Chain A
């Protein structure tokens, strides 16, 4: 009982009109071989000049500025930073939250969009995951040195010791240690597992002996057997599910660090959600900043298509709107609570002389600039999108600063008020982490498969065994 054979012409006739059709994952419909060439081209080709132009300053920041600021702080003490009574959490925590936030969009794209079967994610998933891995590394560094005596960091882990001391597990700060470390570990595993089949691609294509040996080790003997794929896909689904849980857990726990305290402006039940959405929003900004130039410079316009960027912009808009709602709620609850301290803190976010410019910057960027993404023309304008991406990162950084410092500098007792200004070591360390992040990212782009080769191929029509392009003769098998 075979159905009548469908051929390409007939499919074209039956297909819905162009405006209703789903945008293809890969434009131009190249065959699988050409697609493989295209996707591994950059990792195999000659290093272009732009790469060096970006890499050298990033590497300078990462290998000179970063260790200088880091070691000076560790050897001297946290006093070199601007943190002092009453603002004990300064740029170190601001940047910690900011970096964790940047990481979240990567996991959301690679895991949540995988579970919801959004095939377009295949083209950007790997790059987003790499962003996650490197930014969690940067984030994890901050609490480790913020404790002041970095050589006692092992106190935070349940290591049996002769003093019989154990971590105090009732504190969210302790949970944070577990959350951030788990996030780093799991996102690395996810990233690495996704790359195994692609390492095999690069192994099979390797022309030099060194490349062959390196990728043979990394691919771990991957052959692409159907039995292997069967287990692999299951593991991928499981890991995606676990990573999706992490998206909602890690920043929630960071939020709990704040909301379990009694400080006005922090003591709010909305904080876990607030931090998750803020993180995702900030991360989408970073994805736009990274993807838009790279797709052009690496010649990936057909893979990371305008339609993909458009979808990213829409997701940015959605997370931005949720953030806007939370801002509204925060101010509303501060007023509705009738708590004078709450009112004071929120009033001073926008009208306090010391930090009002940061408060307004975050309102202008996160509330007003985000609304530009409603317009299709702006979502199609890559230069504007890039600028919006940069602005969102700045806006979210301001938000973190306003939350952390804005609540601490004027608390319940006027006698206890103070000001906080970052010192050159605060700023230097931030520049250093930015440099380290971009250095690692550029190395990843150059040497590893930056697009998930097997996933992108698997999402094309040529890979569908039930489509005429995939070799189906219709009604058989």
Chain B
């Protein structure tokens, strides 16, 4: 039952404690670590040095594409492929395309936001090494779990474990990726 080493996890009792601990881990020079919590913790992004999420751009891109393709569709269908004269109005004019195009911008933007979020998070996935750990179930309840990944350059089972214990983590455990 031994697999690839994934990392070391430690449990904290409050968002304040884990935020404090996250600062210490960062100061110790680690880069590949993460915090798992039942809700987003205010201020953690800053400690982890996370840049503005790309989701907004994915959404804008998909929304923009949807907008432009509806404008194109209306031109193609009502003015080019089957010109349709309605009330003596021009076959095609940009303002007239606005409403359907705008509606589809919303649609594209929304789909883009969801897909962008899932893609950037590398979801959906049905398995995660942490989900095998009994204690990890509490991360969706009331506990906060800090994990330092084995791929980190500074990672060393003994030292990392000591660090996590020193900054107040309990149930410090080694996580293995069993496949």
Contacts and interface: CB of A to CB of B under 8 A. Distances in A.
B68 interface: no
B33 to A, nearest CB: 9
Contacts of A23: none
B53 A226 contact: no
B174 interface: no
A283 B114 CA distance: 26
Contacts of A465: 14-16, 18-19, 41-44
A225 B36 contact: yes
A419 to B, nearest CB: 31
Interface string B45-66: 1011010111110010001000
B28 interface: no
A238 B140 contact: no
A36 B37 CA distance: 13
Contacts of B14: 462, 465, 470-471
Contact of B47 (A189, A232, A238, A477): A477
Interface stretch (A166-174, A351-359, A406-414): A166-174
Contacts of B136: 223
A230 B45 contact: yes
Contacts of B81: 164, 166
B61 to A, nearest CB: 12
Q: Which of A35, A204, A230, A458 has the most CB of B within 10 A?
A: A230
Interface in A171-206: 171-172, 174-175, 178-179, 182, 185-186, 189-190, 192-193, 197, 200-201, 203-205
A464 interface: yes
Interface in B1-47: 13-20, 23, 34-45, 47
A132 to B, nearest CB: 14
A168 B110 contact: no
Interface in A338-397: none
Nearest to B76: A166
Given A232-B121, A235-B117, A462-B14, A226 B37 contact: yes
Size category of the A interface is 35 or more
B19 A174 contact: no
Interface string B83-97: 010110100000011
Interface string B130-168: 110000111111100000000000000000000000000
Given A454-B39, A471-B14, A231 B121 contact: yes
Size category of the B interface is 35 or more
Interface in A212-269: 216-217, 220-235, 238-239, 242-243, 245-246, 249, 253
Contact of B141 (A32, A185, A226): A32
B103 interface: yes
A457 interface: yes
B39 A175 contact: no
B89 A220 contact: no
B139 A455 contact: no
B84 A246 contact: no
A11 B141 CA distance: 27
A222 B127 CA distance: 10
A458 B42 CA distance: 9
A189 B56 CA distance: 16
A229 B18 CA distance: 15
A221 B125 contact: yes
B37 A169 contact: no
Interface in A447-477: 453-455, 457-458, 462-467, 470-473, 476-477
Contact of A220 (B34, B36, B84, B125): B125
B13 A471 contact: yes
Contact of B59 (A171, A217, A225, A235): A235
Contacts of B99: 172, 175, 178, 253
B140 A204 contact: yes
A223 B16 CA distance: 20
A53 interface: no
A170 B114 contact: no
A32 B42 contact: no
Contact of A230 (B50, B110, B113, B138): B50
A168 B97 CA distance: 11
A299 interface: no
A245 B125 CA distance: 32
Given A175-B103, A178-B100, A201-B141, A223 B36 contact: yes
Contact of B48 (A33, A226, A231, A234): A226
A224 B104 CA distance: 31
A165 interface: yes
Interface in A12-67: 31-33, 35-36
A186 B179 CA distance: 37
Interface of B: 13-20, 23, 34-45, 47-48, 50, 52-56, 59, 63, 73-74, 77-78, 81-82, 84, 86-87, 89, 96-97, 99-100, 102-104, 106-107, 109-111, 113-114, 116-118, 120-121, 123-128, 130-131, 136-142
Interface of A: 31-33, 35-36, 158, 164-172, 174-175, 178-179, 182, 185-186, 189-190, 192-193, 197, 200-201, 203-205, 216-217, 220-235, 238-239, 242-243, 245-246, 249, 253, 453-455, 457-458, 462-467, 470-473, 476-477
23 contacts: A32-B141, A164-B81, A164-B82, A166-B82, A182-B106, A193-B114, A197-B38, A200-B140, A204-B140, A205-B141, A221-B128, A225-B36, A230-B45, A238-B110, A242-B63, A454-B39, A463-B41, A465-B14, A471-B14, A471-B15, A471-B18, A472-B16, A477-B23
